[in-house]
Structure 1
C-alpha cells in the first residue's frame, strides 16, 4: 500500500517527535547496538542531515545530486548541548515536511531511485525516520510501535527499493537460490502478508499467503524490524518457520545501499 503524500508529511513530523521522546534524558554518547559505528548523537545527526538535505532538494527543485555537505545547517549544531541538538532535529523535520507539502506529490526532483517525484521523498523520509527511531528505542530500552498502515508501507517500500537496486547491481552476493521463497506474516494486522520468490534474475514479491521455504510470523512492527535487521530473527516475539538459512542469506545481502 502507499499512503497519501500529505499523510507522509504529517507522519515524518510525528515520527521525529517520537524519536525525540526516546532521546530525552538519554546518554547521547551511548553506542547504538543496531548501528554500532554510531552513538545516539551521531544517529540524530544522520537523521537531521537527511531531513535538511531533502528539504534543500525539494525547495530548490534540484534536478541533480546535491552533496549534503553543501546544504546549510545539515551538519548539525556546533553546540554539544542536548537541548540545542533536539531543537535542530525538530526544526529540520518541520522544514522538510513544509517543503514537501508546498511542492505537492508530483513535483519532479532528483532522487537516487527510479521515482523522481516529491512523493518519493515524503515516503522515504517517513520510513527513514521510523526505522532510525527503532534504533533509538532499542538503545534506550523504549517500547516501539508503529501504526499498521505505516509499518506495512515501510515493508512495501523496502522491497521496492531492494528490487530497484538489484536491477542495476552488477556484483555482490545473491539474495538466495532460484526457487527459494520467503513469507512474511503479520499476526496482528489483517492482510499484512508478503510472499517473496527468488528467481534466476532477482526476485519478485506480492501480497499473498503462500507456502514458502521460510516464513516469518509475528507482530507487524517486529516483522518489519527483523526484515530491516533491527531485531534478531530469533527474537521471542517472532517465529521463523522453515529453512532459517534462507532468511539469514536474505538479511545478510538485501540492501538499497
Structure 2
C-alpha cells in the first residue's frame, strides 16, 4: 500500500472507531485484549498516539512527555463514562486522526524520523499509525460486541507489516531469549485465499516470505482472521494443522501491538 493510502486509512479507521463508540455507548466496558483498559481508555490511547505521531511528523521526534502511553487515569471512574462523554471523545479521535494525516501529507513520505529501525521515515509512521488504528478499532469492536469488517487489502498489508516488524534483527539485541525460536524444522505458514506467508525459523535469524510451501504448522483463515490471530485478538475463525505448540511458542515470543 502507498503512503497516501495509509494517510487516508488513519482517518477512515478513526471514523469507524468513533462509530463503534457511538454504537456501543459504554466507555466503561472492559477491553479483554488490552487487560486493565476500558473502552474509554483505549480510545484515549489511540487519539494520544495520533497526536504523538503528529509531533513526530512535524519534528522527527516524539514529544518528551507522553500521557497517553498509559491511559488508565482517563475514565477510571464510572462517573466519567457518561453518555455525554461519548460524542466528545468520538470527535476528539477523528480530529486527531485528521490532523495527523494532514501533518504526514505536508511532510511527505521521506522525512527522516528517530526510530530503532533502518532509515526510518514518515512513510513508516503513516503505515504504523494506520495499522495501530486498525487493530485498536478491533479491540473496541470486539469489546463492545459490534461488527468488525476490514478491507482484505488492508488486512494483507497489516500482515506484511507484522512479518516485517517481527523479523527485525533488533529483537535479538533487546530480547536475546528470542533466539530460542530458531531451530531446524521450524517453519510456520499463514494461509489465506489471497496470499500465504511463511515464517522461517530454521536459520540464524527470523525470516519470512510469501510462499505456499509446506510448513510444520499451517494456520488457515481469511486475511482479517489471520491478522487478528497474529495480534492475539481473535482465534475462533482460523484452522490450525500441524505443530500447534510451535505456533503458540512463536506467538508468545513475537508479540507487539
TM-score normalised to the size of structure 2?
0.87
**Distance of 2:67 and 2:34 partners within structure 1:** 25
The answer to whether 1:242 aligns with 2:232 is: no
Aligned partner of residue 114 in structure 2, secondary structure? coil
1:50 equivalent in structure 2:
49
Report the alpha carbon displacement of residue 22 of structure 1 after superposing the two structures with TM.
1.2
5+ residue gaps, structure 2, are: none
* Residue 134 (structure 2) aligned to one of 130, 141, 149: 130
More strand by share: 1
The CA distance in 1 between the partners of 2:200 and 2:19, in whole Å, is: 39
**CA separation in 2, counterparts of 1:201 and 1:68?**
38
Deviation at 1:48, TM superposition (A): 0.7
Q: Deviations over 1:78-124 (max 9, x none)?
A: 98622221111111101100000111111122224334211000000
Residue 39 of structure 1 is matched in structure 2 by: 38
Residues 246 and 117 of structure 1: is their aligned pair in 2 closer, same or farther, counting only changes over 3 Å? same
Aligned length: 245
Give the Cα separation in 1 of the matches to 2:191 and 2:21. 31
8 Å CA contact retained: 1:77, 1:84: no
Q: Structure 1: 5+ residue runs without aligned partners?
A: none
Q: 2:189 aligns with which of 163, 174, 183?
A: 183
Deviation at 1:217, TM superposition (A): 0.4
| One of 9, 12, 15 as aligned partner of 1:14 | 12
Q: Deviations over 1:229-250 (max 9, x none)?
A: 1113xx1x21101011111101
* 4+ long deviations beyond 4 Å: 74-80
The answer as to 2:66 corresponding to 1:69 is yes
Residue in 1 that maps onto 2:3: 5
* Conserved? CA contact 2:41–2:72, under 8 Å: no
* Superposed CA RMSD: 2.3
